[in-house]
Amino acid sequence: MRFGINTFLFASPFTNDSTKLFKTFKKWGFTSIEIPVEDPSHIDPAHVKAELDKHGLECGSICACMGPGRDLRGSAEDQKTAMDYCKALIDQMVVLGCPSLIGPVYSVVGRADAEEPAAQKQQWALVVKNLKELAKYAAARERQICIEPLNRFETDFLNTCDQGLKLIKAVGAKNVKLHLDTFHMNIEEKNQGKAILKAGKLLGHFHACGSDRGTPGNDHIDWKPIVAALRKIKYDGDVVIESFTTDVKVIARAAAIWRRMEPTRDEIAVKGIKFLKRVFA
């Protein structure tokens, strides 16, 4: 199990110049880096890989940033834009030595509507069809896709572990796994530990986030059953801190971060990893 940090806490967009953060991340004790690539043109993956190697780090995951126009259940144009974007990320992952494309790859974030059953069925079929194509593309390059349910305010399509597992079963590809996040689960799941147990071997990626998007451990989440469940299913993937602050304006607006959750963003990373290492010890 590796402890990682999502770079949205410090940079948006992530560019070649953002690799200057790697030295600090390594000093704090992280071994895995999660990079949200907002546009493939923002980075030279060979340069980023060289900087990772220089600091003894690995890119554990590339986070799909499903902004406007990227929607596997949207218009034909939106579907193509999303597919081309995700395939480009997978190509970059090969250069980066990164195993996992993670996040809500199925739809644009923020699309949350009361859809009629007929529309839901149609959109579900579109996402399954598109994910089958994307999974085949990823498998040919020995990469996996980890699908993340989001809370009800960010999507109406996939909110719970059960829904995520249903989608994975429908896609039917061995390289499509589930990505769970304690922030979203805190809103949508009756019991986080039981959701993790239900995911079992299909859990491919995990975000450890505070209930308020702040420091994990400095919140009301009951972490003991979460850790126990991850141990029971023998999860050996990355545990990543994905937090946002008002310091990164674009992401603050997108994630509805209207106030400072912690004194500094450095504190989220430093105290967060200390807490995680302690509870997982």
Are the beta carbons of 55 and 23 closer than 8 angstroms? yes
The H or E element spanning position 147 is: strand 144-147
d(CA 270, CA 28): 6
**Choosing from 58, 148, 154, 262, which is the catalytic residue?**
148
- As a whole number of angstroms, the distance between CA 229 and CA 196 comes to 6
The active-site residue out of 38, 51, 58, 242 is 242
The label of the residue with tokens 């399954």 reads 128
DSSP 21: G
Structural tokens at position 181: 């996040």
Q: Is 267 a catalytic residue?
A: no
CA angle, residues 51, 57, 63, in degrees to nearest 5: 90
Q: Which residues pair with 32 in a beta bridge?
A: 4, 58
Amino acid, res. 226: I
HSE at residue 13, side-chain half, CA atoms within 13 A, is: 12
Cα–Cα distance between 250 and 242 in angstroms, integer?
15
Distance CA 62, CA 48 (A): 12
Look up 142 and say whether it is catalytic. Answer: no
Report the catalytic residues.
148, 242
